Structure 1
Amino acid sequence: MNADKHREAAAPLLPVLYEDNHLLVVLKTPGILSQADDTGEPDMVTLLKDDLKVRYNKPGNVFVGLVHRLDRPVGGVMVFAKTSKAASRLSESVRSRNFEKMYVALVHGMPPKPSATLRHYLSKDAARNIVTVHERPTADAKEAVLDYQVAASHGGLSLVVVRLHTGRPHQIRAQMAHLGCPLVYDRKYGAPPAKGERDLALWSASVGVHHPVSKEWLAFRALPPRNEPWAQFPDEAWRRAESMLAADKGSAW
Structure 2
Amino acid sequence: MRSFTIRENDAGQRMDKFITKAVPLLPKSLMYKYLRLKRIKLNGKRCEISTRLTAGDVVEMYIGDEFFDTAPEESFRFAGPMVPIVYEDEHLLLVNKPAGLVVHGDESQTPDTLIGRILRYLAEKGEYDPATEQSFTPSLCNRIDRNTSGLVICAKTAAALRVMNEKIKLRQIDKRYRCLVHGTPKPAEGRIELFMRKRSDENRIEVFHHPVPDGRTMITEYKVLDSNGRYSLLEVHLITGRTHQIRATMAEIGHPLVGEGKYSSMKNDLGFRFQALCAWSLTFRFEGDSAPLDYLNGRTFTVGEDPFARYLRDRK
TM-score after normalising by structure 2? 0.65
Query: Which 4+ runs in 1 deviate beyond 4 A?
Result: 223-226
- Cross-structure match for 1:26: 95
Identical-pair percentage: 30
Q: 1:122 aligns with which of 176, 185, 196?
A: 196
Stretch deviating more after TM superposition (169-178 or 33-42): 33-42
Asked if the contact 1:100–1:164 (Cα under 8 Å) also holds between the matched residues in 2, the reply is no
Larger radius of gyration: 2
- Asked if 1:198 corresponds to 2:267, the answer is no
SS in 2 for 1:112: coil
Counting matched residue pairs gives 223
1:56 deviates by: 2.5
- Asked if 1:44 corresponds to 2:124, the answer is no
CA RMSD of aligned residues (A): 2.3
Quickly say closer, same or farther: Cα 1:149–1:36, change in 2 above 3 A.
same
1:197 deviates by: 5.8
Q: Matches of 2:231 and 2:291 in 1, distance apart?
A: 39
Cα shift readout 1:107-157 (whole Å, capped 9, x = no counterpart)? 111112100011222211011011111222222222222210001111511
Cα shift readout 1:71-91 (whole Å, capped 9, x = no counterpart)? 111111111111222222212
Q: 1:107 aligns with which of 137, 159, 181?
A: 181
Gaps of 5+ in 1: 1-11, 238-253
Asked if the contact 1:151–1:161 (Cα under 8 Å) also holds between the matched residues in 2, the reply is yes
SS in 2 for 1:34: coil
From the two aligned structures, give the one with the greater strand fraction.
1
Asked if the contact 2:256–2:264 (Cα under 8 Å) also holds between the matched residues in 1, the reply is yes
Higher RCO (CA 8 Å, separation ≥ 6 residues):
1
TM-score after normalising by structure 1? 0.80
Cα shift readout 1:137-187 (whole Å, capped 9, x = no counterpart)? 222222222210001111511111111222211010011111111100102
Pairing 1:201-212 to 2, within 5 Å after superposition:
201-209=276-284, 210=286
1:212 deviates by: 5.3
- Cross-structure match for 2:298: 217
Pairing 1:158-169 to 2, within 5 Å after superposition:
158-169=232-243
- Asked if 1:137 corresponds to 2:218, the answer is no
1:17 deviates by: 1.2
AA partner of residue 301 (structure 2): F
